Chain A
């Protein structure tokens, strides 16, 4: 069931590639703006890189949240999904995962390239990619709750950022922290383990909370 919905959402995304690309380019542009704002000194950029890339990833993934349920909501598919006998949590999990595949994975793949812009060493680039790989699914899963709650509301896009961004803070801290620890020559295993723990916790609880939110929003 989850696989079916992932396949469907990926197919829909491939039919409208521009949506995927806008998120990715938003990410690239935000990251590239920072050197223009603070100046091109490499030492400072190297220090800022983890935070800048992670904040940009947070914003990019948040911007795409509105799309997670809205088109299905508008054309009535979501209503049919709610009526269907299969578990709504499973469906929601599939939607969150396909959202991650469409918006999160391109960010993960692009991050090392952007890291080079900031002159990060090779090990730090690897850690950055790994931390994003573990962290971005959490963003999609937690964001799904916000997207479900703000479904069909006026000003939903701004509202979802108010709801979701404070909840993203732990992911930001440990995601950027892992890269900083590696550039400082310290161990980064603990950070990555914690990110993994966040991923597992959100995999368990988020589909359930999102399903409850969808039922409230559609009632």
Chain B
């Protein structure tokens, strides 16, 4: 029996597949979010150094992880789209960008809220904060380049190149920022890893990370469906869909 691996690479069939998958991921995201928040607020013990304020890590750390992970995933799909000329991969890449940028912003924002009570300042030029900020700029660059190009295929390919150039540059930027930071700054404030983390804290954080993951999948699938509809609006199957809705 031969399997058609590329069946769902067609936007039309992916549209329906995504539509069937979304409810499951929504349920998973909601359940994980409730469990994660419950552990975060009621089970995890109060940190003896940081008090209650540390609880923002249940949002902050998953957001920071997702922001970096999503950029790589986005560049991966953009690269696939560029190499194999598959329309759907590029659509998925464009769909990932806003979610990734949102998580980057969330990581920066919650970091500032955590920094004020802990460090006494909203912002320090720490290596991690700075590279997260630069990552945010890279997301913005990708999205604004795609937004400026009217032809969607050209936008896909141009975005793919800038995403891939960004991926090559991210390690370079990260290490230069780290080195720059150690050269400039004394040990006034730094993210010192606490020697051990209570199991409940770690569990809560991991569950929240999974929830963020599920949420990203939901958002990306939904946004991909929107992009498919927008780009394929002249095709027969979309007009059939429209008639089906209006009936």
CA distance A33 to B165 in the complex (A): 33
Whole-angstrom distance between the Cβ of B101 and the nearest chain A Cβ: 13
Please tell me which stretch of A17-25, A55-63, A123-131, A169-177 contacts chain B, meaning at least 4 of its Cβ atoms lie within 8 angstroms of it.
A169-177
Q: Contacts of B168 on A, CB cut-off 8 Å?
A: 205
Q: Which of B166-202 contact A (CB under 8 A)?
A: 166, 168-169, 172-173, 176-177, 179-180, 183
Please tell me which stretch of B17-25, B153-161, B231-239 contacts chain A, meaning at least 4 of its Cβ atoms lie within 8 angstroms of it.
B153-161
User: B173 contacts A150, CB within 8 Å?
Assistant: no
Partner of B173, one of A154, A166, A212, A219: A166
Q: Contacts of A180 on B, CB cut-off 8 Å?
A: 183
B contact patch SS? helix
Please tell me which stretch of A37-45, A68-76, A90-98, A155-163 contacts chain B, meaning at least 4 of its Cβ atoms lie within 8 angstroms of it.
A155-163
Q: Contacts of A194 on B, CB cut-off 8 Å?
A: 176
Partner of B141, one of A166, A169, A212, A219: A166
Interface residues on B, range: 20 to 34
Contact status of A162 and B169, CB under 8 A, knowing A149-B161, A177-B180, A213-B161: no
B241 within 8 A of A: no
A216 within 8 A of B: yes
Whole-angstrom distance between the Cβ of B21 and the nearest chain A Cβ: 32
B144 within 8 A of A: yes
Whole-angstrom distance between the Cβ of B129 and the nearest chain A Cβ: 14
Q: Contacts of A166 on B, CB cut-off 8 Å?
A: 134, 137-138, 141, 166, 169, 173
Measured CB to CB, the residues of B under 8 A from A are 134, 137-138, 140-141, 144-145, 148-149, 154, 157-158, 161-162, 164-166, 168-169, 172-173, 176-177, 179-180, 183
Measured CB to CB, the residues of A under 8 A from B are 145-146, 149-150, 153-156, 159, 162-163, 165-167, 169-170, 173-174, 177, 180-181, 194, 198, 205, 209, 212-213, 216-217, 219
> With A163-B141, A166-B134 given, can you name 17 additional A-B contacts, CB distance below 8 Å?
A150-B148, A153-B149, A154-B148, A162-B141, A165-B137, A167-B169, A169-B173, A170-B173, A170-B176, A173-B177, A173-B179, A173-B180, A181-B183, A205-B168, A209-B165, A212-B161, A216-B161
